[in-house]
Amino acid sequence: MTRYLHLLIADIQILHADGAVSEPQQYCWFFAAVVASKQQADPFGMTIAIKKLDRLEGERRKSAMRSSVRCLGILLALCFAMGSVAIAHDLYPPDWRDSEGATFQHWTFSTDANPAAPEVERNSYGDPTATITVGDLGIGWVDVDIPSYGSMSGVWDLGISGTIDLYIPNRPTPGPYKDVWVQVTYLVEPFGQPEVNVVGAELICEPESQVVEELPGFGQWICSVSKWRIYPNPDSEIVQITAGGFGSVIDQIVVDTKCVPEPSALVSLLAGAVGMLISRRRRK
């Protein structure tokens, strides 16, 4: 810690002397906020500190020397560690995926496109989209290696009450109900768990989750799945993801849907199968 602190002070002095940093006290403010937040167990204070430093770096990026990047790295190294290589988070695939009447869409947010199309999708009924609205204190789309995000990049920092609204086109044929599974990978501690809602649907079981990546001294990336059912089967779905009270950071979203056909159709299929079985027995 002492070594990092000496490097930090030296870099701030050099940057200030060279004119790359006009207000070195802002770096000191960040460091003080981080130390205070850790001493007082105040993760939200740390979040604000990180976001303020991100904005400062963004404003100075065009004019600052390369040393400013080193300064940023030293600051973050005081509290966080880099994670492993990013992977696709599809941890809860339903056993009916890719069956008749099913759709699949996976957003990894590899670009800042808004509305965003899924990077992977198998949906023959139309084009799924994600519309993102950034709330208070939200940074928006982030595609740089920030140690506070671990190995994740291409994430949406939604801020407080920010939203992602997913539109999923589906089979237009009427049916009794439709199952919808929603997986969301998000960062917790100090950020909050996002709220997931499928418009017009009911939750059919308790959500499940598992840790994707541990961030020493900061928090965890979590992949959570919620399972919904809509009566009757609509021709499209709206999935709403809303940031929590401390803001939410989203890395990936996976949505699977399955249309259940009318009972009459099932009866016809069953009757056909029985008829074929009887016919074969008579021939024997």
Largest CA distance in the chain: 98
Range(s) for CATH 2.60.120 in the chain?
A: 102-261
Identify the sign of the CA torsion 76, 77, 79, 80: positive
Token pair for residue 189?
Answer: 């501690």
Q: Is 41 helix (H, G, I), strand (E, B) or coil?
A: coil
Contact (CB, 8 A) for 195 and 234: no
pLDDT digits (tens, 9 = 90+) for 70-86: 445 545 544 443 333 44
- 102-261 CATH, one of 2.60.120, 2.60.40, 2.20.130, 3.40.50: 2.60.120
Phi, psi of 12 (to 5 degrees): -65, -40
More confident residue, 4 or 114: 114
Q: What is the dihedral of CA 212, 216, 218, 220, to 10 degrees?
A: 10
pTM (predicted TM-score): 0.66
For residue 243, pLDDT beyond 50:
yes
User: Which one has a higher pLDDT value, 123 or 279?
Assistant: 123
The overall average pLDDT reported for the chain is 77
Q: What is the pLDDT of residue 139?
A: 93
pLDDT at 36 over 80: no
Q: Does residue 133 have a pLDDT over 60?
A: yes
Contacts 24+ apart (CB under 8 A), 1-7: 1/78, 4/74, 4/77, 4/78, 5/78, 7/74
